[in-house]
């Protein structure tokens, strides 16, 4: 089985500054770090590190080849990442001494994917595979509809939240991931709470409070507690959790077990600085002592 992830690939450029720049000010950064990021890339890496065959569908520009190389190193199948003439998606992240940040996000190549590219990639998928979608690319609804027609299990992480995108994907969705804020935004946009949606499985992650599963068939609600850790950076915790849940479901594990494993991965992730580059592998997750 495989996880087909239509997702963003970003270059995260992190600048430490003595203070946030004022309009018109030129300010020298005291340090600079570059890493692989983007919700899509994070989720592909998490799924691959959790042992799944993760096939990323996306695009980069001419300067993004190293991102593809790094995804390959982490075990992601990168054959369906196109190289195009638009700049690679990137985030310019300014961090002040108090840890406050300011982010300029340029979606670039992530938002010019074509239906043809997605169709070609999914023509290699098998019924029962998982198709994963988030909101940092274009073509969400088209891909979801294609996935449903091909008999794939369509999973959607509704982040960053976009009411129109969610409504368009909703009819084709089997599994929905939301954090607490997104769940509230969805309820405001649709008038429906997670348990009222016509979706087979809805998972709401609640940070240090754990995660909750709503079973659309039985109506059962299951809480998976979080593990006790001292967080240093919560970036990528949700993406890691999503990748781990899907990898476990793809291996045939029941939902409660899949979520318990994902919650260990999420807890480890918040103890590390960084995004895709620090996502733990399955061995680390299984052996971690909490
Ligand atoms: P982000 O946008 O920062 O990647 P998110 O808001 O999408 O994250 P969260 O709900 O914060 O997602 O976290 C996902 C999962 O990671 C949680 O359900 C939990 O299992 C684990 N987790 C997150 N924060 C903590 C924490 N402080 N302690 C232990 N586990 C945590």
For residue 26, the model assigns a pLDDT of 97
How do the domains of the chain map onto residue ranges? 3-19+30-287
Contacts with 270 (C-beta within 8 Å, 6 or more apart), sequence order: 229, 231, 232, 233, 234, 237
Evaluate if residue 235 carries a pLDDT over 90: no
* Shortest-distance atom of ligand 1 to CA 262: 20
* Shortest-distance atom of ligand 1 to CA 42: 4
Instruction: Indicate left, alpha or beta for 78 from its phi (over 0: left) and psi (-120 to 50: alpha).
Output: alpha
Evaluate if residue 25 carries a pLDDT over 90: yes
For residue 92, the model assigns a pLDDT of 96
For residue 153, the model assigns a pLDDT of 98
Note the CATH architecture for domain 3-19+30-287: 3-Layer(aba) Sandwich (3.40)
For residue 256, the model assigns a pLDDT of 97
**How many whole angstroms from 85 Cα to the centroid of ligand 1?**
35
For 224, list phi and psi in degrees, rounded to 5.
Answer: -115, 115
**How many whole angstroms from 127 Cα to the centroid of ligand 1?**
31
For residue 99, the model assigns a pLDDT of 82
- The C-alpha angle 160, 237, 90, rounded to 5 degrees, equals 50
Which residue did the predictor score with more confidence, 233 or 257? Answer: 257
pLDDT band at 100 (very low <50, low <70, confident <90, very high): confident
Q: Taking residues 214-222, what's their average pLDDT? A: 95
pLDDT tens digits along 130-167 = 999 999 999 999 999 999 999 999 999 999 999 999 99
Which residue did the predictor score with more confidence, 100 or 257? Answer: 257
Per DSSP, the residues of 170-233 read: GGG-SEEEEEHHHHHHHHHHHS--GGGSS-SEEEEE-GGG-EEEEETTT--EEEEPPP----S-
User: Does ligand 1 have an atom closer than 6 angstroms to the CB of 263?
Assistant: yes
For residue 274, the model assigns a pLDDT of 86
| Nearest CA residue ID for atom 25, ligand 1 | 208
For residue 257, the model assigns a pLDDT of 98
Q: Over the chain, what is the mean pLDDT?
A: 96
**How many whole angstroms from 235 Cα to the centroid of ligand 1?**
9
Q: Taking residues 186-193, what's their average pLDDT? A: 93
Using only C-alpha atoms, what is the Rg of the chain?
A: 18
For residue 106, the model assigns a pLDDT of 97
For residue 144, the model assigns a pLDDT of 98
Instruction: Report residue 202 as tokens.
Output: 């809805």
What pTM, to 2 d.p., does this model score?
A: 0.96
Report the C-alpha gap between 270 and 290 in whole angstroms. 13
* Shortest-distance atom of ligand 1 to CA 180: 10
Evaluate if residue 176 carries a pLDDT over 90: yes
User: Does ligand 1 have an atom closer than 6 angstroms to the CB of 288?
Assistant: no
């Amino acid at each position: 089985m495989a996880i087909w992830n239509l997702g963003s690939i970003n270059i995260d450029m992190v600048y430490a500054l003595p203070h946030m720049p004022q309009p018109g000010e030129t300010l020298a950064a005291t340090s600079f770090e570059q890493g692989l990021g983007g919700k899509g890339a994070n989720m592909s890496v998490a799924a691959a590190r959790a042992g799944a065959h993760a096939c990323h569908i996306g695009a980069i520009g001419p300067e993004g080849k190293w991102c593809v190389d790094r995804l390959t190193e982490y075990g992601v199948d990168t054959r369906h990442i196109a190289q195009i003439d638009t700049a690679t998606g990137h985030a310019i992240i300014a961090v002040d001494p108090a840890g406050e940040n300011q982010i300029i996000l340029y979606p670039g190549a992530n938002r010019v994917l074509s239906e043809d590219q997605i169709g070609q990639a999914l023509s290699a998928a098998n019924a029962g595979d998982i198709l994963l979608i988030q909101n940092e690319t274009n073509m969400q609804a088209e891909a979801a509809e294609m996935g449903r027609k091909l008999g794939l299990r369509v999973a959607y992480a509704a982040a960053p939240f976009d009411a129109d995108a969610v409504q368009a994907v909703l009819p084709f969705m089997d599994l929905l991931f939301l954090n607490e804020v997104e769940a509230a935004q969805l309820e405001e946009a649709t008038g429906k709470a997670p348990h009222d949606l016509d979706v087979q499985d809805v998972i709401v992650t609640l940070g240090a409070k754990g995660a909750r599963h709503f079973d659309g068939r039985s109506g059962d609600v299951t809480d998976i507690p979080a593990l006790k850790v001292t967080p240093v950076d919560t970036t990528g915790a949700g993406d890691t959790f999503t990748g781990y849940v899907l990898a476990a479901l793809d291996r045939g594990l029941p939902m409660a077990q899949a979520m318990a494993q994902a919650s260990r991965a999420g807890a480890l992730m918040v103890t590390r600085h960084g995004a895709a580059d620090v996502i733990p592998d399955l061995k680390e997750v299984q052996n971690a002592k909490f």
